[in-house]
Amino acid sequence: MKNQKQTIDPIRYEMFLHRLWAIGEEGRMTLQRVTASPIVSQGGECMSSFYDETGTMVLACSGHLRFAAATSDAIRNLMQRFSKTPGFHDGDQFFFNDPYVAGSHTYDMMIVKPIFFRGELIGWTATSTHTADTGGVLRGGAYEIFHEGICIPGLKIVEKNEFREDVFQTLTGQCRDPQYVGLDLKAMIAGNNICAKRYLGLVEKFGLKFVQLAGEKMIADSESKARAKLRSMPDGTWVTRQYVTTLDRKTRKSVAQQLYCTMTKKRDELLFDFTGTSPQTDTDHNSTLPSTVAHLALALTNTLFWDVPWSDGKMRPVKVHVPEGSILNCKYPAACGAGPRIGNVLVSTVCEAVAKMIYASGRYDDVNASTTGNLEFVGGPGYFYGGHTREGIAVAQGLYDIHGAGMGARPHGDGVNTGGHMNIPSAGISDIERIEMQYPFLYFTRSHNPDGSGFGQYRGGLGSYRIYLIYGSKDCSVDYKPYGGVAQGGFGLAGGYPTGIGATRVMIEAGLEMLGRVKAGEYPTVGAMRAGEWGKSILPAGVPERVPLPEGTLLVDYVAGGGGFGDPIDRDPGAVLKDFGYGWVSREIAERIYGVVFADGGKAVDIAASEDCRHLIREARKQDAPISQRSSDKAAAVSSDSQLLRFHAALEIIGNGKKKAIRCSRCGHLYCKADENYKHYALHRILDLNDSMPPLPTGERYIGEYHIYSCPGCATQLQVDLYSRSLGGDPVLWDTRIA
Minimum mean pLDDT among 162-171, 409-418, 636-645: which range?
636-645
Q: Which residues contact 272 (CB under 8 A, 6 or more apart)?
A: 261, 262, 263, 296, 318, 319, 320, 321, 350
**Do the beta carbons of residue 136 and residue 106 sit within 8 Å?**
yes
- Tell me which of 173 and 395 has the higher pLDDT: 173
The residue with greater pLDDT, 546 or 627, is 546
pLDDT at 2: 46
Percentage of residues in the chain with pLDDT exceeding 90?
Answer: 77
Distances (CA, A) of 201 to 17, 20, 723: 14, 10, 56
Task: Indicate if the pLDDT at residue 636 is higher than 70.
Answer: no
User: For residue 4, is pLDDT > 70?
Assistant: no
Is the pLDDT score of 629 beyond 70?
no
Share of the chain above pLDDT 70, in %: 96
421 pLDDT tier (thresholds 50, 70, 90): confident
Whether residue 693 has pLDDT greater than 90? no
pLDDT tens for 443-462 read 999 999 999 899 999 999 99
- Tens digits of residue pLDDT in 310-369: 999 999 999 999 999 999 999 999 999 999 999 999 999 999 999 999 999 999 999 999
Instruction: Say how far apart CA 484 and CA 502 lie, in whole Å.
Output: 14
N-term to C-term CA, the chain: 33
β-pairing, 506-509 with 736-738? unpaired
Q: How far apart are CA 134 and CA 152, in angstroms?
A: 11
Q: How far apart are CA 384 and CA 394, in angstroms?
A: 13
Contacts of 86 (CB under 8 A, 6+ apart): 156, 159
Report which of residues 699 and 514 the model is more confident about: 514
Q: Cα angle vertex 321, ends 320, 324, to 5°?
A: 135
Q: CB neighbours (10 Å) of residue 139?
A: 25
DSSP 194-235: HHHHHHHHHHHHH-HHHHHHHHHHHHHHHHHHHHHHHHTS--
What is the C-alpha to C-alpha distance for residues 70 and 99, in angstroms, rounded to an integer? 9
**Structure confidence by residue, pLDDT tens digits, 707-719:** 999 999 999 999 9
DSSP lists the bridge partners of residue 664 as 651
Q: Enumerate residues 6+ apart whose C-beta is below 8 A from 479.
A: 138, 139, 140, 141, 381, 382, 383, 384, 545, 546
> What would the pLDDT profile of 465-478 be if each residue is shown by its tens digit?
999 999 999 999 99
The confidence score (pLDDT) of residue 632 equals 59
Please give the pLDDT value at position 280: 97
> What is the SS3 assignment for 127?
strand
Burial label for 15, CB within 10 Å (0-12, 13-18, 19+), is middle
pLDDT at 396 over 80: no
Q: What value does the mean pLDDT take over residues 110-128?
A: 97
